[in-house]
Structure formats: C-alpha cells, structure tokens
Chain A
C-alpha cells in the first residue's frame, strides 16, 4: 500500500500508431509497456521515443541509454536491446515493483521465442483488447496463413488434429474481429470454415448465437440439441440484459430523455464519438 509520487506530464505527447493513443507521462508509458508488451516489441523503441523522453520528461540519462542500446548492435540482437530498453524504462519509474518488472522481462523473452503463429495470434488478441479490430483481423489472418502453410507442407500424411483445431480457433478470432466491425456475413463464413476445419465448440457456439441474433434460427446446425438451443437463448437474454444496463446504453437513453434542444446537441456529440471510435477500430 502506498502513494506513488508522479513525475510531471509532458507538454507534447508521444504518439504510437499501433496503440493509437497519445502518451503524456512516464506512468502511462510504463502501463503500455507492461500491459501491451506485444505492441512494444517492434517499432516502439525508436529515436523519437528517446527524444521525447529527453525533451518532454527531462530524462536525459534514460534517453541516452536507449540511444546507446539502439546503436550498439544494429540488425543483430535487436530484440535483446529492445527488451533491455523497455525494462530500463520500467525501472526508471516506480510504477511497477521489481517482481513485476522481472515478470514482464520474462514475458518479453517468451514472446520472442514463441512460434510465428503464436506471436501473431497473441498480437491480434492484444489489438482486439484495444478495440483495434481491423489491425487485430490482419494479425489473426497472418497467424492463419502460418498455420495453413504448416498444414500445406504435410503431404501424404493425416493433418495433425492439433493444427486443425488451432486453425479453427484462429478463424474464430478472425470472425470475432469481423463481428466487431459489423461485417456479419464475413464472420458467418469464417465460422463455417472453422466448423469444417475441426469440430470447434467455440465456433459452433459463436455461429449459433450470431444466427439467432439475426433471426435465422432455421440455419442453425442440426447437431444442436434443444437443450443447447435453450442454453444459448438464455445466454443471449443475459447478454441483452447486461447491454441494457451498460453505461453506453444509458448514455443514449439519457440523451433521449432530454429536451429537444439538448437532445440534439447530445446526440450530435455521441455521433461524433462513435465515428471517431469506428475510425479507430478500422
């Protein structure tokens, strides 16, 4: 239990395209590195970051250390130097404990040594959590390409059930991104493909919910039992109830309870906000 004393904010923020946020303080920078390490592994530790630390946060020593790391082994061992630079930033700010910093370092190492499809899928998941659905879809697509390539290389042998299941899982992730982008038909196609690839409970569930939501119960898989249909209906009802209690729904509802003049203004603001969010997603 403690109160962490903050350093001063920057006058001008640091902007990263992948994250699409402006970072104003050292604490925010540490939060991003710790919670979204995959997004900081490539193209994050740059001369611009070092300059920002020096000019905006008056952290000349840290900036010099980062530049030194970047310059010491160009092209070779770049990953080690990025990891060291990220760890140095975490250490400089008393935002995370030594134990947490060490755990982060191990996570970074882990991501470096994992397979390309694992990396791409994990990156896609990170982007999905940040609501960057289009970028998440691209990352999941890359993962799917890697797995398909591996499946393609297996000739004359029964494809590994694990690989097939893996592909189905990635296809489900791609479908989830498409759903968020409101591209429902593409999502349904991806889920059909996932079902064909492997018996995927997750895929069946997602496709069934989507069809129920679209009022297309006739297209539900025949293998779905009545009990399962009932469970899915209950799940939908529960999700609908949560949606009606959510702040975003209340925001719209409250807007319509206002007098016409204020309602128009509030709705205009909401539309602007949604447009901005949609642009961010795509």
Chain B
C-alpha cells in the first residue's frame, strides 16, 4: 500500500492540505455543515452549497471554536467544537488522499507521517489540534504540530539555495490578519543554523475591504508602510507572499514595487502546508535533508548541558540541544554528586548574541548521608521556548540508603 507524508495548515478560516510529491496544496474553507435531518456532514465548498440550499446548518471558525472548548448545536444535538474539528479534518484528509489515486489504484494511500502547522495565536490551539489529529488514527509518534514559522523555514529550505542566500521575508495576508515572518541561515559555527521569527502585525485589515478601489488603496498603503518599516535594514534575497489576501497582488502596486526591488518575489497558496509536508516527509527519510539547527518559537534556542564523570572521564552531557522541539523534549538522567551538594546546568545560546550562563541548583532539604550515597533523578522539560523546568528527586542508594520524598522543582529562564 502506498504511504503518504502529509502537511496540513490548519487555520480558523481555511485549511490547506499538501501531500508530499504533489505540485499544489488543496485549500478548503474550515467550515462544516450537517444535514438538517441526518448525521451526514459536509465540509468546505460543499458545506456552503448545502447551507445555501437550506439543506444543512453551517458551523465556521472551527479551530477557534475547538480551541475555546466551545460547542455548537445543530438540529437539537450539541456538538463539542473539538469533535466537529475532528470530523472536518478526517473528511478533508480523506478527500485529499482520494485525489491522489490515479489510474488503476483502488486504495487510497496510508498516512506515513503527518505534520500540522498552526499560527499559535489561539489559546489551547495545540490541544484542539492534537485531539483532531488523534482522531485521524495516526500513531502519536508519526504526527507533530509545528508553528507557521517553522513550516515557512522548511518551505524555503526545500527550494533553490539562491532564495535564501540572504534574509528571507514572508507576508501572510489571511482574511483577518497580516503576519510577517523572517528567516536567515547563519553559517560559520559547528552546524549551520536557521533562525526564523514571525509575528502578527498591529496594522492589519479585513480583506473584504479589497472589494472596492478605496479599500485596495488603503490596503496597499498599509502593506507598504509595514514593508518599509520591517525590511529597511535587512538584505533580502527573496520575499514570499501567501494567504487569500494576496490572490490578486496587483491590488497592491506600491507594495509590489517596493518588495520587487532587486529581489525575487514568489507567491504560493498553501505555503505553510507545503512546508509542513516537507517536514513530514523528512521524518520518513533515514537522513535529514535539512542539516540545520532550527531556531524559532517552537524550538529551543540554546543547549542545556552539564559536566559529568563517566568512565573516569569528565564529559559534557547535552541534556537538550538547540533546535530540538521544546514541547517534545524531555530529559531524564541519574547522577551521584561527589563532594558537592549542588547541580550546575550550563545554558549556551545557539545564536551567540546572548552570553552563556551557568545555573546552580543547591540540593537544599536533601537528607544528610555519606558522600556518594545519594542518587538523584534529574528531569528536564520545557513549558515554553524560554523556560526550563528542572525536577530533582532523591533516590537514596537502593536498600543501603532508602530514598526519601526530598525533591526540588525549579523553573529557569533560558
């Protein structure tokens, strides 16, 4: 059976699905409609049609509904937002996979790897997306959630090298919001890094205003103002445009003229979905096609390490590396302090703009025992990209020195 690596860009107003190897992404509105009389659901354009005919009841902004743990009542039945999103996603993916079938193939491909890209602007967005993705039946180790910034990085790095010789900019104009992203490759260290950042713009507009000339002029001046402010100091080799608002780039002549000066400009519908599918496909390969340390909001920006002795030699043990996805990174080791009652953690930023630092955690409250008779369980996790949570628990020394409840928990800014 064929296997597919799929990237999905899941937003409140649209969902883009890209199957790796295909040319384009399939973009459908994130809406669902239930038949008035039966439990039959329809999605995207079909949902709109059914609703217009009066045959169904539409629910839109599904991601926002699910993230806020909202509900929708359709035909007397109350549905959880998460369940509606799960139904939507299942149908959308099935439809995209069915389109893969060509010629004599009868079975739609199986999902080998799935990557979902989200903007990260909604609270508990990850929880809602995780719930929906699990409903697809893909094993947890074969799907991941990334941010738009990371999806952009994969997309750009999958293309021609000339495009990312210098800085890369991306404007994403969706129905309600304008986002700006930047990316640059930093070389000259042990491993090349790719640094990506993105943020929603305060100056934004609803793309409905583009229906008339005055609105288009306003939109153009807003975009030009943003571009001039954000891109004045950088040296850009390429600018990417994505989102429904850029379907007609000619609406923004001044903006277009500015960004096209001595750089390449490319527009791509479903850019984040294509980037996500590249990320998904890379996981199926024995060796990565992206030998970079990724630095962005969903990845760690520094190495966390400590000096330990093993086999009578002192070594640096990396507990978490820059570029690791912080949400999935967990570290667990057991140590015995020798002639010391503290643990030092070294934090080394990847970008070298910030100074490295050492955080000392004293073992306060741990029982007094002879030296080397206390085994510690040290666990690390990351509640966010900027915070490290350290847990240290007493394990005694087997039955010779039984363990106690002594423990320390600290959160450290990294």
Contacts and interface: CB of A to CB of B under 8 A. Distances in A.
Contacts, number: 73
Contact of A5 (B310, B397, B400): B310
Contacts of A95: 336, 372
Which secondary structure characterizes the binding site on chain B? strand
B366 to A, nearest CB: 14
Interface in B303-356: 306-312, 314, 317, 333-340, 343
A126 interface: no
B339 A1 contact: yes
Nearest to B337: A3
Nearest to B335: A3
A57 B137 CA distance: 37
Contact of B335 (A1, A5, A22, A28): A5
A248 to B, nearest CB: 14
A3 B336 contact: yes
Given A31-B373, A95-B372, A2 B397 contact: no
A144 B265 CA distance: 97
Nearest to B317: A5
Contact of B336 (A1, A21, A27): A27
Contacts of B91: none
Contacts of B365: none
B398 interface: yes
Interface string B284-307: 000000000000000000000011
B399 A2 contact: no
B314 A2 contact: yes
A2 to B, nearest CB: 5
B256 interface: no
A6 B336 contact: yes
Contacts of B307: 2-3
Contact of B397 (A13, A27, A94): A27
Contacts of B340: 1-3
A31 B400 contact: yes
B68 interface: no
B343 to A, nearest CB: 7
Given A27-B336, A27-B375, A95-B336, A3 B398 contact: no
A141 interface: no
Interface in B336-394: 336-340, 343, 372-373, 375
Contacts of B314: 2
A98 B399 CA distance: 26
Interface residues of B, number: 25
A219 to B, nearest CB: 40
A95 B336 CA distance: 9
B371 to A, nearest CB: 10
A31 B375 CA distance: 13
A32 interface: yes
A3 B338 contact: yes
A28 B336 CA distance: 11
A52 interface: no
B309 A2 contact: yes
Nearest to A6: B334
B400 A32 contact: yes
Interface string B266-286: 000000000000000000000
A157 to B, nearest CB: 47
A44 interface: no
B335 A23 contact: no
A21 B309 contact: no
Contacts of B373: 31
B399 A21 contact: yes
B336 A4 contact: yes
A25 interface: yes
Interface in A26-67: 27-28, 31-32
Given A27-B336, A31-B373, A95-B372, A3 B400 contact: no
Contacts of A94: 309-312
Given A27-B336, A31-B373, A95-B372, A3 B397 contact: no
Contacts of A28: 397-400
Contacts of A21: 398-400
Interface string A1-18: 111111000000100000
Contacts of A24: 398-399
Interface string B89-119: 0000000000000000000000000000000
Given A3-B308, A4-B309, 9 more contacts: A2-B307, A3-B307, A5-B309, A5-B334, A6-B333, A6-B335, A24-B399, A28-B397, A94-B309
Interface of B: 306-312, 314, 317, 333-340, 343, 372-373, 375, 397-400
14 contacts: A1-B338, A2-B337, A2-B339, A3-B307, A3-B309, A5-B317, A5-B333, A6-B333, A21-B399, A22-B399, A23-B399, A28-B399, A31-B372, A32-B400
Give the top 4 A-B pairs by smallest Cβ distance, nearest first: A6-B334, A5-B308, A28-B398, A5-B310
